[in-house]
């Protein structure tokens, strides 16, 4: 899956220029960090609207970026449900629409074990935006992890839905078959009891044969449909099993690397990646542990040279999620992020309260000195 590199952001007649790797936007509380974070999400179409408390002078917002090797300008007017793409193609589409998903799919080019999943590119892009509301270790995001691993879980779910719908149809057909059978019995009874001496034997036989033929045809059709349903159930079970096995294999293959990440940062207590994705156990973790582990997992899922991470997260943007850390651990984390960013050609953008313990060369904007809003 292609990388996203933001080059320039245009907002309130101001231009913010980004580095290709690590970027810090510094500002004390209420200086506009979260506002900027939400506006960038808004431009990409990941937010429906801008919060009411945000006041802007400009009528539109714009980002210049590279997605893979394609230079793209993404523009969105304020209070608009439409997003505009300009580059080697020009298109204006409604956010969250089928066309919106297809454009991102064609730009990021995710790949899957079975068929295409055109919603996946937007979902995986969204996973790179980390704030207090972000929770990767949740049941609803389990499908997202599978998509990062290149598993088309939507096909599995769709096949299950189709089987349920087909089963309901067969129930209706079975009821119809019973009606025909009962109708045939009633007609025969009427013929015998009321019209037995008034209808020629030959005509009665013809009439009975017609009813029998219709009933047999319906029954044969129903039996074929039942056989098809059983085949579909078997195929779905194999597909589900294969998808689950692939998910478990790829998660297990990342176990040692996840452990090495924790060791590098000097964790006194290390966590098994399987336990992290076992949702009952996560509930017992502290807020700090969850936020740190989420960052490590997201960094793990950005690797573009790992065969287990088929569709790596294309960018990471975090909004002041490490304010609770002591300076020593924060320093280690930022050095580690710089290392991962260069190794994986990843752009990392962090909104942070203090410029202590970070490389000043990576500060692209200090909201304490130059406001945007």
Of the candidates 224, 243, 262, which is a domain's last residue? 243
Looking at the structure, tell me whether residues 219 and 196 fall in a common domain: yes
Predicted confidence at residue 370, as pLDDT, reads 76
What is the number of residues in the chain? 373
Do 233 and 163 touch, CB atoms closer than 8 A?
yes
**For the segment 28-49, what is each residue's pLDDT rounded down to a tens digit?**
888 888 889 999 999 999 999 8
Determine the angle formed by the axes of helices 255-264 and 201-253, rounding to 10 degrees. Answer: 30
Looking at the structure, tell me whether residues 204 and 308 fall in a common domain: no
Looking at the structure, tell me whether residues 150 and 74 fall in a common domain: yes
Looking at the structure, tell me whether residues 80 and 148 fall in a common domain: yes
Looking at the structure, tell me whether residues 8 and 91 fall in a common domain: yes
The CATH number assigned to the domain holding 55 equals 3.40.50.300
How many folded domains does the chain comprise?
A: 2
Predicted confidence at residue 32, as pLDDT, reads 86
* pTM of the shown model: 0.85
Domain assignment present for 277: no
Predicted confidence at residue 219, as pLDDT, reads 61
Of the candidates 215, 243, 271, which is a domain's last residue? 243
Predicted confidence at residue 326, as pLDDT, reads 76
**For the segment 187-235, what is each residue's pLDDT rounded down to a tens digit?**
555 455 554 555 555 545 555 555 566 556 656 666 677 777 788 888 8
Predicted confidence at residue 149, as pLDDT, reads 95
Residue 354 lies in domain: 4-154+302-366
Predicted confidence at residue 180, as pLDDT, reads 52
Predicted confidence at residue 8, as pLDDT, reads 97
Looking at the structure, tell me whether residues 150 and 12 fall in a common domain: yes
Domain assignment present for 25: yes
Residue-averaged pLDDT of the chain: 84
Predicted confidence at residue 176, as pLDDT, reads 56
Looking at the structure, tell me whether residues 148 and 191 fall in a common domain: no
Rounded-to-integer distance, Cα 344 and Cα 176, Å = 61
Of the candidates 200, 228, 243, which is a domain's last residue? 243
Q: Which residues of the chain have pLDDT under 50?
A: 183, 190, 195, 203
CB neighbours of 175 closer than 8 A, spacing ≥ 6?
none
Q: Which residues of 85-109 are buried (b: 16+ CB within 10 A; e: fewer)?
A: bebeeeeebebeeeebbbbbbebbe
Predicted confidence at residue 205, as pLDDT, reads 57
Rounded-to-integer distance, Cα 322 and Cα 47, Å = 23
Rounded-to-integer distance, Cα 36 and Cα 70, Å = 25
Rounded-to-integer distance, Cα 300 and Cα 343, Å = 12
């Amino acid at each position: 899956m292609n990388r996203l590199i933001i080059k320039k952001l245009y907002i309130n007649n101001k231009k913010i220029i980004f580095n290709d790797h690590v970027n810090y936007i510094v500002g004390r509380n209420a200086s506009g960090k979260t506002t900027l974070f939400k506006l960038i999400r808004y431009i990409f179409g990941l937010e429906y609207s801008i919060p009411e408390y945000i006041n802007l002078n400009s009528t539109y917002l714009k980002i210049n970026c590279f997605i893979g090797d394609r230079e793209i300008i993404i523009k969105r007017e304020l209070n608009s449900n439409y997003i505009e793409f300009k580059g080697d193609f020009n298109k204006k589409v409604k956010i969250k629409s089928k066309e919106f998903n297809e454009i991102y799919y064609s730009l990021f080019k995710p790949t899957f074990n079975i068929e295409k999943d055109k919603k996946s590119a937007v979902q995986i892009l969204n996973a790179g935006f980390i704030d207090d509301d972000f929770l990767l270790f949740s049941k609803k995001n389990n499908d997202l992890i599978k998509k990062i691993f290149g598993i088309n879980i939507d096909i599995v779910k769709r096949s299950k839905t189709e089987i349920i719908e087909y089963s309901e149809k067969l129930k209706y057909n079975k009821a119809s078959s019973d009606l025909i059978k009962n109708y045939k019995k009633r007609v025969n009874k009427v013929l015998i009891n009321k019209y037995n001496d008034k209808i020629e034997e030959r005509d009665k036989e013809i009439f009975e044969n017609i009813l029998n033929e219709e009933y047999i045809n319906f029954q044969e059709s129903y039996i074929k449909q039942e056989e098809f349903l059983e085949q579909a159930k078997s195929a779905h079970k194999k597909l589900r099993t294969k998808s689950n096995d692939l998910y478990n294999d790829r998660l297990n293959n990342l176990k040692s690397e996840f452990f090495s990440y924790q060791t590098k940062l000097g964790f006194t207590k290390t966590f098994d990646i399987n336990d992290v994705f076992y949702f009952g156990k996560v509930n017992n973790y502290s807020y700090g542990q969850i936020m740190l582990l989420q960052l490590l997992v997201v960094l793990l899922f950005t690797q573009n040279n790992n065969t287990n991470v088929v569709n790596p997260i294309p960018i990471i943007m975090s909004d002041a999620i490490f304010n609770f850390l002591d300076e020593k651990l924060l320093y280690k984390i930022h050095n580690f992020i710089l290392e991962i960013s260069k190794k994986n050609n990843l752009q990392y953008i962090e909104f942070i309260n203090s410029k202590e313990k970070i490389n000043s060369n990576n500060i692209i904007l200090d909201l304490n000195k130059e406001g945007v809003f």
